[in-house]
């Protein structure tokens, strides 16, 4: 019996060591490939991988300043975009614990500006089942000749113009930035403190998150945050600050808004946040991680500012991502293994959406082999001009949406969807299959029993869209 116990113990140790070795090897491979991507201009950001109290990787890639080629540092401060929402929701939970806020009471009891939405509750705002119209689509109406749209301006608009709700409160899940802007204003009204001040006093300071704060760099022109790095976008030739491009004028106009975004933080502070959640410090995590429900009892898979789901490869997952011109942010927590990924990028997520750095980092964190080829754009083969001539034509997804394929003067095989820019196609090794060179998508042309091209199937993001040939 003693020998059996010894062998079982030895086997257990070998299994653990094997897992640790696989994880370490995968993370080393990931690091090497991320270095290569950064050197090639495909990555700029900070990444932290940890398991429990052990940091497995904490590293910077790319630049804090692309113009002057200033390297990014591990303690850089990033705008978090929608990763902010978990802090907004956590603040709501603190007011509930204080007895100052009833999640199921009408929001208009606290914010009379929302009298036009009498059945709307805080619970519904937190879980994205409120139905308030998206302020992004209302930006032109909100901008009353002012340089910045603010939370107060949005509340005034909801009070005075009373735009119709998208759906009845609780009817369904629909991600809502407006809801979280209203939540930030609700926090201010109930607490009597500015949103940023409340977060600092009740969350950031108690948890030692000393580099975390609400910061609107365009709105607060005279304020400077130490080690803050701005986000950059690719203009087709180089990385530039989005403010310099006319198409991104809204990043200035909407910079006065907070609650759905505008918390700024670092890798280390977000790791402190992860450790506090793992230990159940300060907050009611049972409330935070409980998925919301619709009135039809459908789960939203969204708790208090964080997605909650079970991913087959990784298990129980608590996560949120954020995106705003120039920044792409991610925090993924895996309570069953006590692992966390924190990924903060100042390159708008990269100039080529086919490069799968996030997925590769998640695989490495779990000790799974990364697919190096998935980190690089697939190389499309040159097309055979003669062969693609029989593919040229129009294919209808619906009467209103069509795909048109044609040969450019230089012989390039091109496609164009209704109302969109044309894109180039490259040959896939598979017969009658072509790759869209600007996104991770492929097209398979299908033939009928007579060998004539009859339809095309678009494969993108796990979806298959069929278009029937018209001519």
Which domain CATH number covers 412? 2.40.128.50
pLDDT given for residue 254 in this prediction: 94
Which whole number is the average pLDDT over 238-252? 93
pLDDT given for residue 176 in this prediction: 96
Q: Is residue 370 part of a domain?
A: yes
Q: pLDDT of 105-121, one tens digit each?
A: 999 999 999 999 999 99
Query: Domain check: are 140 and 265 in the same one?
Result: yes
Mark 358-368 as b/e (b = at least 16 C-beta within 10 Å).
bebbbbbbbbe
Which of 350, 375, 400 terminates a domain? The answer is 375
Q: Is the pLDDT of residue 21 over 90?
A: no
Query: Domain check: are 363 and 434 in the same one?
Result: no
Which of 357, 375, 393 terminates a domain? The answer is 375
pLDDT grade for 198, boundaries at 50, 70 and 90: very high
Query: Domain check: are 204 and 317 in the same one?
Result: yes
Query: Domain check: are 105 and 180 in the same one?
Result: yes
Residues 53, 275 contacting (CB under 8 angstroms): yes
Q: Is residue 111 part of a domain?
A: yes
pLDDT given for residue 5 in this prediction: 60
Q: What are the structure tokens assigned to 1, written together?
A: 């019996």
Q: What are the structure tokens assigned to 96, written together?
A: 């509930």
- Residue 415's DSSP bridge partners are 405, 423
Q: Is the pLDDT of residue 273 over 70?
A: yes
What are the C-alpha distances in Å from 275 to residues 53, 73, 328, 334, 345? 8, 22, 22, 12, 22
Q: Is residue 152 part of a domain?
A: yes
pLDDT given for residue 241 in this prediction: 96
Q: Is residue 328 part of a domain?
A: yes
- How many residues are there in the chain? 471
pLDDT given for residue 19 in this prediction: 52
Which whole number is the average pLDDT over 266-274? 98
Q: Coil, strand, or helix at residue 433?
A: strand
Residues 257, 250 contacting (CB under 8 angstroms): no
| Residue scoring higher pLDDT (353 or 334) | 334
pLDDT given for residue 142 in this prediction: 64
DSSP letter at 379 equals P
Query: Domain check: are 176 and 240 in the same one?
Result: yes
Q: pLDDT of 310-344, one tens digit each?
A: 988 899 999 999 999 999 999 999 999 999 999 99
Query: Domain check: are 155 and 290 in the same one?
Result: yes
Q: Coil, strand, or helix at residue 324?
A: strand
Q: How many CB atoms lie within 10 A of CB 290?
A: 13
Which of 354, 375, 396 terminates a domain? The answer is 375
Query: Domain check: are 113 and 253 in the same one?
Result: yes
Query: Domain check: are 151 and 86 in the same one?
Result: yes
Give residue 248's domain range.
78-375
Instruction: Report the domain count for the chain.
Output: 2
**Cα 336–342–347 angle (5° rounding)?**
150
Q: Is residue 453 part of a domain?
A: yes
Phi-psi category of residue 133: left, alpha or beta, with phi > 0 → left and psi -120 to 50 → alpha:
beta
Q: Is residue 56 part of a domain?
A: no
Distance separating alpha carbons of residues 413 and 426, to the nearest angstrom: 7
Query: Domain check: are 353 and 410 in the same one?
Result: no
Residue 298: φ, ψ to 5°: -85, 135
pLDDT given for residue 16 in this prediction: 47
pLDDT given for residue 421 in this prediction: 79
pLDDT given for residue 92 in this prediction: 98
Mean pLDDT over all residues of the chain? 91
Distance separating alpha carbons of residues 374 and 231, to the nearest angstrom: 25
Q: Is residue 55 part of a domain?
A: no
CATH classification at residue 242: 3.40.710.10
Distance separating alpha carbons of residues 404 and 415, to the nearest angstrom: 6
pLDDT given for residue 197 in this prediction: 98
Query: Domain check: are 357 and 454 in the same one?
Result: no
pLDDT grade for 14, boundaries at 50, 70 and 90: very low
Q: Is residue 15 part of a domain?
A: no
């Amino acid at each position: 019996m003693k020998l059996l116990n010894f062998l079982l113990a030895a086997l257990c140790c070998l299994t653990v060591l094997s897992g640790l070795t696989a994880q370490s090897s995968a993370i080393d491979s990931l690091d090497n490939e991320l270095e290569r991507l950064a050197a090639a201009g495909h990555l700029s950001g900070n990444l932290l991988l940890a398991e429990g109290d052990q940091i497995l990787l904490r590293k910077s890639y790319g630049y804090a300043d692309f113009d002057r080629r200033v390297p990014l540092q591990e303690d850089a401060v990033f705008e978090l975009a929608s990763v902010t929402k978990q802090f907004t929701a956590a603040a709501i939970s603190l007011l509930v614990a204080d007895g100052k806020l009833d999640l199921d009471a009408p929001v208009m009891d606290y914010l009379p500006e929302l009298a036009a939405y009498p059945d709307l509750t805080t619970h519904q705002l937190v879980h994205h089942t409120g139905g308030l119209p998206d302020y992004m689509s209302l930006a032109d109406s909100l901008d009353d000749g002012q340089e910045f749209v603010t939370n107060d301006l949005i509340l005034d608009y909801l009070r005075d113009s009373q735009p119709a709700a998208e759906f009845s409160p609780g009817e369904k899940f629909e991600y809502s930035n407006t809801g979280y802007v209203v939540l930030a204003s609700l926090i201010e009204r109930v607490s009597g403190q500015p949103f940023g001040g409340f977060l600092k006093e009740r969350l950031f300071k108690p948890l030692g998150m000393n580099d975390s704060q609400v910061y609107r760099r365009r709105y607060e022109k005279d304020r400077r945050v130490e080690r803050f790095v701005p986000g950059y976008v690719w203009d087709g030739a180089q990385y530039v600050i989005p403010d310099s491009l006319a198409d991104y004028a809204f990043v200035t106009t909407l910079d006065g808004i907070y609650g759905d975004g505008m918390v700024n933080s670092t890798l280390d502070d977000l790791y402190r946040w992860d450790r506090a959640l793992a230990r159940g410090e300060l907050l009611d995590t049972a409330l935070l991680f409980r998925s919301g429900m619709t009135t039809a009892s459908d789960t939203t898979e969204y708790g208090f500012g964080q997605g909650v789901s079970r991913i087959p490869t990784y298990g129980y997952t608590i996560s949120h991502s954020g995106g705003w011109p120039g920044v792409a942010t991610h925090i993924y927590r895996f309570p069953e293994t006590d692992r966390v990924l924190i990924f903060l990028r100042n390159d708008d997520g990269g100039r080529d959406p086919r490069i799968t750095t996030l997925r590769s980092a998640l695989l490495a964190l779990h000790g799974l082999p990364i697919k190096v080829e998935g980190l690089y754009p697939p190389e499309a083969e040159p097309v055979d001009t003669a062969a693609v001539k029989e593919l040229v034509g129009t294919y209808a997804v619906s009467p209103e949406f069509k795909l048109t394929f044609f040969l450019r003067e230089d012989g390039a095989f091109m496609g164009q969807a209704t109302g969109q820019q044309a894109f180039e196609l490259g040959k896939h090794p598979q017969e009658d299959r072509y790759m869209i060179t600007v996104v991770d998508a492929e097209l398979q042309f299908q033939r009928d029993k007579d060998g004539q091209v009859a339809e095309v199937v678009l494969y993108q993001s796990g979806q298959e869209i069929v278009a029937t040939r018209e001519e």
